[in-house]
Amino acid sequence: MTPANWIQFGLIAASGLACAYRLRSVRRHPGDATVRAIFLGLLSLTVVFLLGSPQVYWPVHRVLGELPLMPQLVQHFFAMLMAHCAEVFMVRVATARPERGVRLRRRLLIGALVLLGACYAAGPLRLGLPILAPEGHADFGVTLYVLAWQSYTCLVLIDIVQMWWHRPAITGKYLRAGVTMMAVGAAVALLQVVHKIAYQVTVNAGGRLPWQESGSYGIQAVLLIPATFLLMVGITLPSWGPRVARRRARLRRYRRMAPLERALREACPEVVTGDRPFRFQVRYQQRVIGIRDALIGPLHPFLRAPESSGDAGAEARAIADAIGRKRAGAPLGSGAAPALTSGADLDADAAWLARVSSAFDRL
């Protein structure tokens, strides 16, 4: 297999995994039109990649009774549907009146599909073509067919870019980044569409270009791979971006809490945190609970009030002093032990303990 085939299989796997990931969101939010558009777009993209593989195309061609160009017609249908879903997503997140915009673009899709069917009958079906050749076809009907679905894709891509350009202020960090990535991907894909149209028109006029437009060695992959990557990441980024950021933030806090947790474990061996679990979330929670258990348990009678409330450095010095007094066997304090700063929830508490631990490590 060629490197292009391996890249194609990688794209199939990536789009399939993304589709499976978004299926959970569809089940959780069955009435959310934006979630449904994302899922249908990724599903369509997976079908497009599958039918673009020769290992899939020709078996499907035989299953469909070897009707002329039928697998490619299905592929182009799903390519248009994918473009429509990306456009619908952009309409819903970047326009003030999304319902009206979606209805108008749905009518445009239906009209384009009717035109595609008519051009299919006038070109590939009339000629009995099993597949469009990478070097194009010098036939007016085939040129009309290529123009039909590529022109629709061109209009959609321009629409996505102009909606991004005129978008209102999007407050969500990851939604804003995702929309921008989609616009860049649409601009790159637009170059590919213009090239494909120009290539087919040149071949129809009797010209011949020294490179293939599609296929394993075609120029199409050079533009479509980055465009597809940007579109796929952009449309899914608002979903997984915050989760990845939260995971990274928790991992940083977990590592920063290590010096304080280690010192407290040595000073208070009676605090048992249990075995080291496999899941990171459980380890993260156990580290926070273990530190708090030591501070409100065996170390609590040795604590003195920090120099200033809400100061991580002052609290770190108070904890270090309490550890030293416990190790030295100092007498317990006579009054009530001070209350240390804590967060409102697990992440807020971990963030504070991470600051205290960093200050403790610098002592």
pLDDT of 218: 66
Asked if residue 334 has pLDDT above 60, the reply is: no
Alpha helices for 68-172 (secondary structure H):
70-94, 98-122, 124-127, 140-165
Same-domain status, 184 and 88: yes
In a domain, 65, yes or no: yes
pLDDT of 217: 60
Residue 257 Ramachandran class (φ > 0 left, ψ -120 to 50 alpha, else beta): alpha
In a domain, 179, yes or no: yes
Same-domain status, 82 and 107: yes
pLDDT of 224: 79
Q: What is the CATH number of the domain that holds 15?
A: 1.20.1070
**Which among 245, 278, 304 is the end of a domain?**
245
In a domain, 250, yes or no: no
User: Where does the pLDDT of residue 130 fall: very low under 50, low under 70, confident under 90, or very high at 90 and above?
Assistant: very high
Same-domain status, 357 and 275: yes
Q: How far is CA 94 from CA 50, 65, 165, 244, in A?
A: 31, 44, 10, 24
Could you tell me which residues come within 8 angstroms of residue 323 by beta carbon, excluding any fewer than 6 positions away? Answer: 263, 264, 267, 299, 302
Same-domain status, 337 and 212: no
Same-domain status, 212 and 261: no
Same-domain status, 204 and 336: no
In a domain, 251, yes or no: no
Residue 356 structural domain: 257-361
In a domain, 252, yes or no: no
Same-domain status, 283 and 228: no
Question: Region 324-329: what's the mean pLDDT?
Answer: 83
Question: Which residue matches tokens 């080291």?
Answer: 276
Q: How many domains does the chain have?
A: 2
Same-domain status, 204 and 305: no
- Quote the CA–CA distance of 78 and 65 in Å, as a whole number: 20
Same-domain status, 27 and 122: yes
The per-residue pLDDT for range 62-100, each reduced to its tens digit, is: 999 999 999 999 999 999 999 999 999 989 888 888 899
In a domain, 231, yes or no: yes
pTM: 0.75
Same-domain status, 54 and 34: yes
Same-domain status, 71 and 168: yes
**Which among 245, 275, 294 is the end of a domain?**
245
**Which among 193, 213, 245 is the end of a domain?**
245
Same-domain status, 197 and 288: no
Question: Region 191-210: what's the mean pLDDT?
Answer: 79
